[in-house]
A and B are shown apart, each in its own frame.
Chain A
Amino acid sequence: MQTTTDDAPSPVSLEVAKAGYLAAAAREHWISVVSLILFLVIWELICRFEIIGPYQLVPPSEILGVFVDKLSEPNPDGALLQQHAWASLSLALAGFGAAVCIGVPLGLLMGWYKPVNLLVRPLFDAVRPIPPIAWIPIAILWLGIGIHAKAFIIFLAAFVPCVINSYTGIRLTNPVLIRVARIYGASNFETFRKIGIPSAIPMVFTGIKLSLNAAWTTLVAAELLAASQGLGYMIQLGRRLARPDIIIVGMLAIGLLGALMSWGLTRIEARFASSRRLS
């Protein structure tokens, strides 16, 4: 979602802030509960009194019904909610996985070895300012409308933050540590492996999280343009049939899955990064 620039907000602090405000929320959560209920009630009333027409917005009570129905009812968009979700999820994970597998090592190598940086940098810098979404039409031309084109677009989107963050992470390695390693006779590769990589881990994880976000957003965009299944396709069809209930259910599913994946990644990070620190 956010593209990292060199002076992007440190997402580490974003995470800390979120944890902070979740903790605070627990303390005075009744205000939040009231506010949320009020929000839903107002939404419901707006629909009940038809301030906004039934083909523009549907009340939350109905959304819940449609959400449950969609789990067993393929109409009107031709597939069940879980089928759409699975189609999107598997695509996003394919592109994202490839981006992490290629992007992180590349970023680390670029940060550590000058020749790699000189070789890759021009390509990377030329491609970076173009948002991944702008690639969709040309990707359709090159790779068709199947899984390849979409995986390519997601790959592009997820690749950039992976590379930048790994690069920055390893560039920020404390030079004292490097010098200490050198003094004890470590080779360049050993220093890279034992000092550089571990110290870059937090930044790398931040990058991975940003990439997951970017992957998910871009996937939705790709599915809007051409698809036969997937959550993006589902909301697009809801649009063409003027069915706001389908659209909103799709949006909530997209949001929910996105949040779930971020949460999962945070858990993995907590476990992985902390064990790293101990060793």
Chain B
Amino acid sequence: MNGTRLQRYGGLLLLALALALGPLFLQNGFHYNVAILAGLNAIVCIGLNLLIGYAGQISLGHAGFYALGAYASAILPDRFGFHPLGAMITGAVAVGLIAFAVARPILRLKGHYLAMATLGMGIIVSIVLDQEVDITGGPDGMPVGDLSAFGYVVSGNLAWYTLVAILLFITVWLALNLVHSPVGRALKAVHGSEIAAAAMGVDVFHYKVLVFVVSAIIASVAGSIFAHYSGFITPDEGSFIHSIELVTMVVLGGMASITGSIVGAVLLTVLPQMLADFHDYEMIVFGAILMSMMILMPKGLVPTLAGLFKGRRS
């Protein structure tokens, strides 16, 4: 048994333990609400981090995929009689196909161009959601039905917490597998130097497309779950601002660090709730975090802290 494998399973075990102990710290419905939202954000961020951190490709439009998943779960059961699970899967497949279709041309772009293209795509999605009032309810949003499967309706804080915790666990497991696979090593090479990787015979482009699609599907599923949990969604889920929030979580926690994505998502979900009395200052805090992290700790919280521990030891 080699080291990386033990590390991987050890980390998963620790995560499972933390998730299982979570309810001990959650004293009321509001705490559960924050924990559930943090979990959902963490799921999206892990997917996004595979793209930004490992593949080195920025996306300023991931909230668009999240919103598409959410609206699929809201619209399909309500208008077309889909089963909630069917709606979620249809949404995820559709988002996957869209991501696949746009990935090929878009991922040929670099740097600023890629940022702008993904941003444009995300904004077009949110404009459509805003304007197709008859289908989406427009800017005021629409209600979403319950999530039910096999005669069981997910309701109550503990049930939702458990569902999100399981999904988070699966996402981490998937992501770890991806990172430690040959694909993952290729991805690391991509972030290092694309041309060098290509010279080594790695099909860089193929991997970038794969990661883009996977991260979009993860966002879509998380969006669906959020829609059912919240019971009400608005086009804000797909807004440019939401895309930026997701990127901020990834950057804060640390690029190319799965632990970092969880930490980033938890911190940036809890922080605004703590600052609720000061919510005038929320944007200032967010902006300042983004700038100072990028300037002072470009690697993000977790990798930098881990580096500190390491430095002290040696």
Tell me if chain B binds chain A. Answer: no
